[in-house]
Chain A
Amino acid sequence: MTYNEVVKSITPKEKRLENAIRAFVSGGIIGSISELLVSAVSPEFMLIVWIAIAAFLTGFGRFDDVVDFLKMGAIIPITGFAHSVAASSLEYKEEGLITGIGANYLKLAGSVILYGVLTAAIFAGIRGVLWLL
Chain B
Amino acid sequence: MIIKSFLFTGFICLIAQIIKDNTKLTSGHITSLFVSLGAFLGFCGAYDKIIDCVGGGASVVIMSFGNTLYNTAIEKGILHMLGGVSTGIVATILLAFAITLLFRVRD
Contacts and interface: CB of A to CB of B under 8 A. Distances in A.
A112 B99 contact: no
Nearest to A120: B69
A35 B103 contact: no
A76 B87 contact: no
B80 to A, nearest CB: 11
Interface in A45-95: 46-48, 50-52, 55-56, 58-61, 71-73, 75-78, 80-82, 84-86, 89-91, 93-94
A97 to B, nearest CB: 10
B9 A31 contact: yes
Contact of A29 (B6, B12, B27, B69): B6
Interface string A103-133: 0010011011111111111011111000000
Task: Classify the interface of chain B: helix, strand, loop or mixed.
Answer: helix
Interface in B88-106: 88-89, 91-93, 95-100, 102-106
Interface in B58-73: 58-62, 65-66, 69-70, 72-73
5 contacts: A61-B105, A84-B31, A85-B93, A111-B28, A117-B81
For the complex of A and B, the 4 pairs showing the least CB-CB separation, nearest first, are A31-B9, A27-B13, A28-B10, A31-B57
Given A24-B11, A51-B95, A76-B16, 16 more contacts: A20-B21, A23-B16, A27-B12, A28-B7, A31-B58, A34-B56, A59-B103, A72-B30, A76-B12, A94-B105, A105-B96, A115-B36, A116-B65, A120-B42, A124-B43, A124-B81
